[in-house]
Amino acid sequence: MTPGTDERPQMSVEEFEELDRRAPETVTLEFLDGRVSVKHGPIDVEDFEELARMAPETVTLELINGKLEVKPVPDQLHGAIVMWLLRQCMQQRPELALYPEQGLRVPTYRQGRVKADGALAPVDHFIGQEGEWASPDGVLMTVEVTSHDRDTDRRDRQEKPRAYAYVGIPVYLLIDRDNDTIVVYSSPENGVYQNRRRYHYGSTIRIPAPVAITLETEKLKDYAD
């Protein structure tokens, strides 16, 4: 599959109508070709957080670079990949946990709110943090698994590497289902990951410190689609 060519909409008309009904009075939404946006420019953080709290259960919202984004609902293979990685991490580093769908505050050009498919951090790291969106401090690695939607190229391959590097998360792991590869971003400096290495499914991958785990990725071939 060519990256970013799937034309399935990110949100249905019914989901948008429900979201629009629940939106704060200060937010006017519009809907075009399956995409939702704020009609009168960027949404501020407080309005976004209220909108995200009120969204239907089938809709997950993110705020990246001041823009409202809809995170696709994971399919079964997406979930299987996240669980495979979770087991690998906890077997090798039992003092760490991979937190699925972890909300993070990742301010870039404008304040952002991102739902990572996985965030690797010490066990109980997020206990005591208020609300859905946690500080990225202490997160060792973020993980994204691509979905087959039109915005995955911009979201997962462009915007999120910049966002995660900006807040100094040491490693960003991208599992790219469009071309059956794993990309390891590391050494963030001045908002950019200085190292980026791409591997094919089946490779042995040594994730650098402070993660320091080795992934045998042959199993990912079973999840190729």
Q: Which residues pair with 35 in a beta bridge?
A: 32
- Where, residue-wise, is CATH 3.90.1570.10 in the chain? 76-223
DSSP β-ladder status, 171-176 and 181-189: antiparallel
Question: What are the structure tokens assigned to 33, written together?
Answer: 């070709």
- How does residue 112 score in pLDDT terms, banded at 50, 70 and 90? confident
Distance CA 114, CA 222 (A): 29
DSSP 214: E
Q: What is the mean pLDDT of residues 85-92?
A: 96
* pLDDT class of 108 with cuts at 50, 70, 90: low
Q: What is the model's pTM? A: 0.78
How far apart are alpha carbons 7 and 194 in whole angstroms?
A: 32
Rounded CA-CA distance 101/107 in Å is 18
Q: Between residues 151 and 184, which one has the greater pLDDT? A: 184
What average pLDDT does this structure show over 141-170? Answer: 87
Which pLDDT tens digit goes with each residue over 25-79? 878 888 877 678 787 767 778 888 888 888 877 777 878 777 777 777 667 899 9
CATH class as words, domain 76-223? alpha beta
Percent of the chain with pLDDT over 90: 49
Q: CB of 66 within 8 A of CB of 42?
A: yes
Instruction: Specify whether the CB–CB gap between 215 and 88 falls below 8 A.
Output: yes
Q: Note the pLDDT tens digit of each residue in 191-222.
A: 899 999 999 999 999 999 999 999 999 999 99
Q: Looking at residue 8, what is its pLDDT?
A: 42
Better pLDDT: 119 or 110: 119
More confident residue, 44 or 133: 133
Dist. CA 199–CA 221, nearest whole Å: 13
Section 151-160 average pLDDT: 81
Residue 101 phi/psi, 5-degree rounding, is 50, 45
Nearest-angstrom CA–CA distance, 12 and 18: 10
| Residue 155 DSSP class | I
| Phi (first) and psi of residue 87, to 5 degrees | -65, -40
